[in-house]
Amino acid sequence: MASTKVELLQLDKKTNFTLWQVKMKAVLMQLDLEDALFPTIPASWTEDHKKMVNQKALTQIQLHLTNDIIRDVQKETKAHKLWSRLDEICMVKIVTRQNLDLCSLLLMSLPSSFSGFWDILFYGSKGLSLESIYEALSSKEIICKFSKMTTLSQAEGLVIRRRDLER
């Protein structure tokens, strides 16, 4: 059987994890190592064979990781645990990116009377989250309501409804 060399970029914090994961599974399948990604390995395998398959799969995955990712997962000694850990690390990144997109969308949809507020919140904070925006918007509306600094017409009114991201 002739071997085929597959070019797969190393996984870093900018790589599309889902696509990388599909390609990495294909590499492991070509090498007949995909069973190492599951916690339960066939009972018919000997202990030596289980260790060999795990070690080969583990090293194949590690060779396709950048140093910053390896630092986060270097303690993993089982291929399936490494695979799960990568999933955790990279899915947090995806959720964070989606969260920032929602934050930007919310800030851009604010009425013009909130323009100064947008600048302060966007440039003045270390981290932007939906929680911080909701809290700040609630605070500004309360302050405006009681101090009558500004009056919002019905056309400029803003309704904030919180919706959980997890479905």
pLDDT in tens, 5-40: 667 899 988 888 889 999 999 999 999 999 999 999
Whether pLDDT at 66 is above 70? yes
Contact of 8 with 23, CB cutoff 8 Å: yes
Residue 23 contacts residue 78 (beta carbons within 8 Å): no
The pLDDT, as a whole number, for residue 150 is: 47
Domain residue spans of the chain: 17-93, 110-162
pLDDT per residue as tens digits for the range 96-152: 667 777 777 777 777 777 766 666 666 665 566 667 777 776 775 656 654 454 444
In this predicted structure, the answer to whether residue 166 has a pLDDT above a threshold of 70 is no
Higher pLDDT, 149 or 161: 161
Task: Output the pTM of the full model.
Answer: 0.57
